[in-house]
A = this chain, B = another copy of it.
Amino acid sequence: MSKSLPKRTEDYSLWYNELVKRAGLAENSSVRGCMVIKPYGYAIWEKMQRTLDDMFKRTGHQNAYFPLFVPKSLFEAEEKNAEGFAKECAVVTHYRLQTDPDKPGKLRVDPNAKLEEELIVRPTSEAIIWSTYKGWIQSYRDLPLLINQWANVVRWEMRTRLFLRTAEFLWQEGHTAHATAEEALAETRQMLEVYAQFAEEWMALPVVKGVKTENERFAGAVETYCIEGLMQDGKALQAGTSHFLGQNFAKAFDVQFANKQGQLEHVWGTSWGVSTRLMGALVMAHSDDEGLVLPPKLAPIQVVIVPIYKTGQLDELLERIRPMQMGLIERGISVKIDDRDTERPGFKFAEWELKGVPVRIAVGMRDLENGTLEVARRDTKEKMTLPLTDIVNSVDQLLQDIQKNIYQRAQSYRETHTTRVESYEEFKQVLEGKGGFVLAHYDGTSETEERIKEETKATIRCLALAEPQEEGVCIVTGRPSKRRAHFAKAY
């Protein structure tokens, strides 16, 4: 607490890492690339989970749970998906340890306990789930099948960063099966809308909805839709994806249904997911050099009350604060009274600032006598004096204002960091300058996309759904183009 955070402008990456650790969100573990999600971080994730889960259920989905392991033969069945994930798979080869004959007190892998077939720790569950769906789907009456799973997955990434890229992460993965391509596409787009709504209304994060190019598409998908947010360093972050799988997995796992005419057809699939990566997006989109700035709707503690008192006064003061606390709780606002007598108010203020609590109320005896309270909002650091009598309404309104303000600030940042360019020169200048989304025409080929990536590190984040058709020429090759793509450097 004593040392201040690195500044965003000086070292954004260090600022992020230190903030995540010091605010008590997560830390690195002794397992390479795996993180520990600490209680305060997990409390935010739980709010995200609960909200998304309710949204999934309202759109007709049910939760289920499928195995952690995928036998290698199943994993291989959908070729593109297998190739896409093969390079980062944790593989279980043995099922027992034994006393090491050479090192007393140590264990070693029992060479006699080798698995006949290796098990892949799921990097994603299409294979295991579609092999199960084969048994669940016979007729059009079994469709649509709308299932979601909350789970851990493992991708053996070489460079990891807390929340943004970790070997193990938590996520949800929806996997649905439909009778027609149209229905599956409608589902894919519906879940994209759900994610966008969650990002904007709960995380206060404006997102661009779009479709990925072939280069950036999910391995095994026909089309990948995504939402892309913009962080304060001008880099984009993919915050959620929704895939139209066509009949790829149905064919790989032979999942067919009898239609109303009694003919067999392969079903159409989708999958969609968001992960603990959202935690990284949340931190990077809004926080500042003093610490986290949490949108009230996802803050585990929305209001902290810090009593200001002289020795011997605390108990009386606390008793007089209770009715206000109760009033806020009854309104559905989560409140913490920081009654530690081991720390001074200044220390407490800094700590709750670091932790991003949206509203702080400092209360002393004199305030209560005057009938006013000193209220500070985290987002703007504005302090105000509010009447005690109407405090519940004022705080409720204030929380709503903060939620809105954080969103608007992020949106206006995005507006000033979205640039339409007409030449490759300009493209590079913007990328090296303020960064952000750069909207440019390109010729639609993977080659050009690759070349731009190699030369500038910018990738096509998406072809935005809201971007109109527009005649233009590719900034690299000069060939004709019909729409602009959203380019950016990205996490």
Contact = CB atoms under 8 A, between A and B. Distances in A.
A46 interface: yes
Contact of A64 (B38, B87, B91): B38
A380 to B, nearest CB: 30
12 contacts: A29-B132, A35-B67, A39-B63, A69-B90, A72-B97, A76-B107, A82-B107, A86-B99, A87-B96, A87-B98, A91-B93, A91-B109
A273 to B, nearest CB: 17
Q: How large is the interface on A (under 10, 10 to 19, 20 to 34, 35 or more residues)?
A: 35 or more
Interface stretch (A117-125, A198-206, A355-363): A117-125
A147 interface: yes
A30 B128 contact: yes
Interface in A393-411: none
A311 to B, nearest CB: 20
Nearest to A91: B94
B64 A156 contact: no
If over half of A's interface residues share one DSSP class (helix, strand or loop), that class is named, otherwise mixed; here it is mixed
Interface string A197-235: 000000000000000000000000000000000000000
A70 B31 contact: yes
Nearest to A53: B46
Contacts of A106: 76
A39 B89 CA distance: 28
Nearest to A70: B31
Contacts of A342: 141
A245 to B, nearest CB: 20
What copy number does this chain have within its complex? 2
A68 interface: yes
A475 interface: no
Contacts of A59: none
A75 interface: yes
Nearest to A69: B31
A168 B107 contact: no
Contacts of A74: 30
Interface in A89-115: 89-99, 105-107, 109
A136 B29 CA distance: 12
A29 B96 contact: no
Interface string A112-150: 000000111100000010011001000001000001000
A64 B89 contact: no
A43 interface: yes
Interface of A: 27, 29-31, 34-39, 42-43, 45-46, 62-72, 74-76, 79, 82, 86-99, 105-107, 109, 118-121, 128, 131-132, 135, 141, 147, 151-152, 154, 156, 168, 170, 342
Contact of A31 (B43, B67, B107): B67
Contacts of A39: 62-64, 147
A338 to B, nearest CB: 14
Contact of A121 (B82, B92, B156): B92
Given A31-B69, A71-B30, A86 B62 contact: no
Contacts of A38: 64
A95 B86 contact: no
A97 to B, nearest CB: 4
B107 A68 contact: no
Contacts of A154: 68
B96 A89 contact: yes
A348 to B, nearest CB: 15
A105 B76 CA distance: 8
Given A42-B65, A132-B36, A31 B92 contact: no
A91 B97 contact: yes
